Amino acid sequence: MTSATSFTPGDRDPNREPLTVRRIGFGAMRLTGTPMSDDRDVASVDRFRSIAVLRRAVELGVNHIDTAAFYISPMRSANELINSALGPYPDDLLIATKVGPGVDPDGKRYTARPDQLRLQVEENLRQLGRDHLDLVYLRRMRQDSIAEDFGALAELREAGLIRHLGVSNARLTHLVEAQRIAPVVAVENRFSLESRLDEDVLHACAEQNIAFVPYFAIAGEGREAGFGARETVREVDEAVAQIAKRHEATPAQVRLAWTLHQGPNVLAIPGTSSLAHLEENVAAGELELSGEDLTQLNSHYSAEQVTEAGGASAPEVSDTRK
């Protein structure tokens, strides 16, 4: 059973409660009705259905929700939906959010300066209805150095607004840079069968008991367009399809199971606005891939086939995914 056990990232600070989460969480971006529809979800998302999905996720044992204040559409925000659906929050629920990217009152996207990060943290606090944030990722937006930005978040951690810190879209040098300033409990990077150029970060996280949280784990090459769109760009993945058939599973479940097999510190945050796909995603934690399955997948997506989109040249204008 790949996700029956939970994971507790390391934090050297004895004064902070450790974060213990189930290894399959939930990504909230698709709940906002953003125009990124695919074969699994539709662009126009009903508010009541989104709330039902969030509540069902918690019923299924999910206690790790990934969100951001910039997960918004003209209709609604992910944070507001989470607050409406789950407040007052269960004691064991971890809500992780991201800062760095932002949307101004005119709807224009921007990258926050270090002195603007407190305002973004306070915005998340207000929208979620909380007096502190469990986990805040600094989403890197093309910066060569994240020291000044991460230092600003470390100050907010010391002030009690944030309990734990992480980095997103970060290379190994950025992780090392952040760790010199404050403990890092999680790294959220693009990582999938097709995009594995951050394996050095994955290995560093495993060695240091840091959670590694992939995005685009299901979407693969579909990226922002989603799972279904990936398969309109290329043929249905033969290896994934064969393994899914052997296990009477879906291709999405095989991709999630492969993700969890990358290490006990690897978490999954698939997003959906569908109750059926939510249950399918959570059930992927029960899917045990054999050594033969893993060999077939890893050889099918050999080093020559893995894309370079996970590298430093990847677009970083926003964090739209799963």
Inter-residue contact 248 to 215 (CB < 8 Å): no
Inter-residue contact 24 to 281 (CB < 8 Å): yes
The catalytic residue among 71, 137, 215, 301 is 71
Inter-residue contact 293 to 243 (CB < 8 Å): yes
Residues 6+ apart with CB under 8 A from 291: none
Residue at token pair 């939906």: 81
**CA 9 to chain CA mean position, Å:** 15
Inter-residue contact 89 to 121 (CB < 8 Å): no
Residue at token pair 């150029």: 197
CA angle 16, 68, 152 (to 5 degrees): 55
Query: Both tokens of residue 304?
Result: 């020559």
Task: Return the SS3 of 129.
Answer: coil
137 is catalytic: no
| Max CA pair span of the chain | 53
Q: Measured between alpha carbons, how far is 221 from 140 in angstroms, rounded to an integer?
A: 21
Cis peptide before 88 (omega within 30 of 0): yes
Q: Measured between alpha carbons, how far is 135 from 141 in angstroms, rounded to an integer?
A: 19
Catalytic residue numbers read 71
